[in-house]
């Protein structure tokens, strides 16, 4: 049909995982769906680099055995056999040495905390796991630092949490919500005594999931890549379609899988909604993937307490998924920025990589002759900054405009993830289907 006359039950604006997942759930309910994606590819922040024998994500990803909605979708897409579940080894760089922190016994041997400090850290974890929803909401207006100090004391804050908060949020660290920290601790504290935390990954990388989901959505619905939305059409107070440069697509409903600032550019939202969601800030991320000849780390994920290193997190991907398709060791070196004007975020790629590689040489005695290749990806909006009051600023999926729903990373708490995108997609699809078909 001509673009000016196409009509759908729902148009999804945005082809990241929240958008694709919502479209997939709606199509399974028998609705006519169009996905509009500005980029040439689907998947958003889960895009991958392609090499002759393997694909690797531009930004590191994994998921958890407890991610129910995602695992259900994987099963229904017929790719459960592509999933592997393995121990996700983590550690801490302190005083120039790497210390594994996977089991209670390794934590007891960690020299960064005294025995009393470790007892207080255990007390803090226990307190986080027992708080109810009302207490969590109250903590949204308390700083994470104040809450850590009140339960764990100064040593636990300074020698364990301070480097993590600074690496994750930079200069925003003093204003981060205790509710975020508590929810994050609860999410990541389920570890076995012997193996530590278990993580899931795909045999062919997350592109396995992108491909399977995109295939199903394209087969059942309509997908237009490289076609950004110019405006969301509202008629009689109700979302009624989307305008693009090529025409007018009509629909009975619209789902915006976009951040609030992007959504507000497409449609006139009420001032109160704009003001409230405007309190949410986003952090930028710089992420280099480096192919090297030999292993650098004994673990998968390294948290860093070292002012001299230019990156905040380091991963050796092969220590999570050591596929025979990989012809090298794969390192992730990532930095987080409170704003996209950060000098490191703005560095030319060659200068940035030189800075990162110099850090590897200095700290890990890595040899430049081991370098095979590198790639750099940047995201100006990699995730929300969970400042105090975040929960009160987080919008609902229903917007003030009738039949316009919203699903984006701002709804992810305590952490943006592929799994949470699928959780959102399931919730939003149910809302849309209930409105349109009474399902």
Q: Is 158 left (phi over 0), alpha (psi -120 to 50) or beta?
A: alpha
Q: Domain residues of the chain, as ranges?
A: 7-53+65-85+204-279+387-437, 105-188, 281-385
DSSP class per residue in 319-376: GT---TT-SSEEEEEEEEESSTT-HHHHS-HHHHHHHHHHHHHHHH---GGGEEEEEE
- Give the β-pairing of 33-37 and 329-337: unpaired
State in Å, rounded, how far the first CA of the chain is from the last one.
28
User: Of 92, 30, 153, 15, nearest to 429 (Cα)?
Assistant: 30
Do domains 7-53+65-85+204-279+387-437 and 281-385 share one topology? The answer is no
Cβ of 166: how many Cβ atoms within 10 Å? 18
**CA–CA dist 163, 142 (Å, integer):** 19
User: Of 424, 430, 432, nearest to 395 (Cα)?
Assistant: 424
Contact 333, 309 (CB under 8 A): no
Report which DSSP code applies to 394.
P
Beta bridge partners of 231: 243
Give the homologous superfamily in CATH for domain 7-53+65-85+204-279+387-437: FAD/NAD(P)-binding domain (3.50.50.60)
Q: Which CATH architecture describes the domain 281-385?
A: Alpha-Beta Complex (3.90)
**pLDDT for the residue numbered 194:** 63
**pLDDT for the residue numbered 17:** 92
Q: Which H or E run includes 391?
A: helix 390-393
Mind listing the pLDDT tens digit of every residue in the chain (439 residues)? 344 557 999 999 999 999 999 999 999 999 999 999 999 999 999 999 999 999 999 999 999 999 998 999 999 999 999 999 999 999 999 999 999 998 888 888 999 999 999 999 999 999 999 998 899 899 999 999 999 999 999 999 999 999 999 888 988 999 999 999 999 898 776 665 566 789 999 999 999 999 999 999 999 999 999 999 999 999 999 999 999 999 999 999 999 999 999 999 999 999 999 999 999 999 999 999 999 999 999 999 999 999 899 999 999 999 999 999 999 999 999 999 999 999 999 999 999 999 999 999 999 999 999 999 999 999 999 999 999 999 999 999 999 999 999 999 999 988 888 999 999 999 999 999 999 987 5
**pLDDT for the residue numbered 2:** 46
User: Of 267, 247, 243, nearest to 406 (Cα)?
Assistant: 267
């Amino acid at each position: 049909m001509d673009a000016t006359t196409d009509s759908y039950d729902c148009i999804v604006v945005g082809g990241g995982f929240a958008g694709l997942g919502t479209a997939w759930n709606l199509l399974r309910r028998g609705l006519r769906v169009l996905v509009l994606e500005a980029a040439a590819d689907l998947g958003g922040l889960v895009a991958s680099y392609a090499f002759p024998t393997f694909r690797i994500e531009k930004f590191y990803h994994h998921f958890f055995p407890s991610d129910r909605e995602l695992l259900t979708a994987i099963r229904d897409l017929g790719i459960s056999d592509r999933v592997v579940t393995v121990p996700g080894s983590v550690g801490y760089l302190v005083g120039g040495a790497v210390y594994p922190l996977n089991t209670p016994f390794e934590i007891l041997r960690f020299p960064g905390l005294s025995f009393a400090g470790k007892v207080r850290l255990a007390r803090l974890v226990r307190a986080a796991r027992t708080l109810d929803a009302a207490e969590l909401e109250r903590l949204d207006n308390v700083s994470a630092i104040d809450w850590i100090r009140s339960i764990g004391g100064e040593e636990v804050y300074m020698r364990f949490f301070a480097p993590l908060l600074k690496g994750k949020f930079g200069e925003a660290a003093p204003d981060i919500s205790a509710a975020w920290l508590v929810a994050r601790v609860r999410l990541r504290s389920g570890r076995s005594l012997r193996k530590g935390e278990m993580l899931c990954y795909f045999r062919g990388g997350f592109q396995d999931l992108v491909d399977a989901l995109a295939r199903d959505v394209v087969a059942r619905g309509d997908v237009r890549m490289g076609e950004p939305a110019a405006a969301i059409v509202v008629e009689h107070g109700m979302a009624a379609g989307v305008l693009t440069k090529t025409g007018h697509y009509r629909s009975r409903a619209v789902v915006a899988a976009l951040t609030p600032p992007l959504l507000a550019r497409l449609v006139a939202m009420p001032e109160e909604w704009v003001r409230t969601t405007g309190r949410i800030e986003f952090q930028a991320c710089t992420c280099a993937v480096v192919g090297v000849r030999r292993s650098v780390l004994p673990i998968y994920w390294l948290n860093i307490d070292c002012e001299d290193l230019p990156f905040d997190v380091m991963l050796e991907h092969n220590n999570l998924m050591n596929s025979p398709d990989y012809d090298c060791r794969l390192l992730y070196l990532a930095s987080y920025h409170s704003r996209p004007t950060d000098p490191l975020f703005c560095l030319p790629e060659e200068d940035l990589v030189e800075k990162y590689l110099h850090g590897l040489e200095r700290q890990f005695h890595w040899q430049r002759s081991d370098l095979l290749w590198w790639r750099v990806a940047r995201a100006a909006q990699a995730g929300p900054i969970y400042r105090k009051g975040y929960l009160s600023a987080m919008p609902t999926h229903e917007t003030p405009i009738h039949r316009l729903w919203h699903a984006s990373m701002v709804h992810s708490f305590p952490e943006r993830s592929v799994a949470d995108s699928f959780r959102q997609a399931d919730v939003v699809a149910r809302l849309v289907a209930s409105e349109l078909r009474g399902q």
